[in-house]
Amino acid sequence: MQFQVRMRPRRYVSGRFGEMAGSLLRRDDGLLEVRMRLAASSVEFPGRASYGRFARSGAFFDAEHHPLIEFDSRPFPQALLQRGGELQGSLTLRGVRREVAFRLAPGGCTRPGLDCDLEVAGSVDRDDFDMGALGLLLDDEVRFHFRLRLGLPS
């Protein structure tokens, strides 16, 4: 899972989460839900250790006080995995929960998320999650892009 922050002026830096878990839940009504958990302490910027320390610090993800970043989708039809589209849900970041929408790419196999990766992208505003530190150096937008396989819960 990767994310990008644009440093001013106009230079993007990319980080990644080393630890993440996701599951695909089938509800009794036939709709699906996606649950994702990212370990904030696993954030790294390859070749830039100081960026990783900053991203884990209280000024950004605050991994010490908020170890998990969580996304829980709203229920959606299985067809969304095949055709792609907007995946809505709630994102909890730094203890702040907000409704968000990510863009799900069309699936590339019969069972997207299980037999092939789901590809999801979107962005959030740092201010919406109390991440306003260093506003003169960083743009407000944080872009997320991830490819993941989901497990079926037992």
Choose among 102, 116, 113: nearest CA to 152.
113
Q: Can you tell me the distance from the alpha carbon of 115 to that of 101, in angstroms, rounded to the nearest whole number?
A: 24
**pLDDT score of 106:** 94
Distance of CA 71 to the CA centre of its chain: 7
SS3 (DSSP) at 128: helix
**pLDDT score of 2:** 58
One-letter amino acid at 135 equals G
Q: Can you tell me the distance from the alpha carbon of 129 to that of 102, in angstroms, rounded to the nearest whole number?
A: 16
Cis peptide before 67 (omega within 30 of 0): no
**pLDDT score of 154:** 46
- Hey, where are the domains in the chain? 2-148
Which mean pLDDT values do the consecutive 10-residue runs of the chain (154 residues) have? 58 84 89 92 88 87 94 95 95 95 92 87 89 67 82 56
Fold classification of 2-148 is: Lipocalin (2.40.128)
Tracing tokens 């959030």 back to the chain, one arrives at: 124
**pLDDT score of 138:** 73
**pLDDT score of 45:** 85
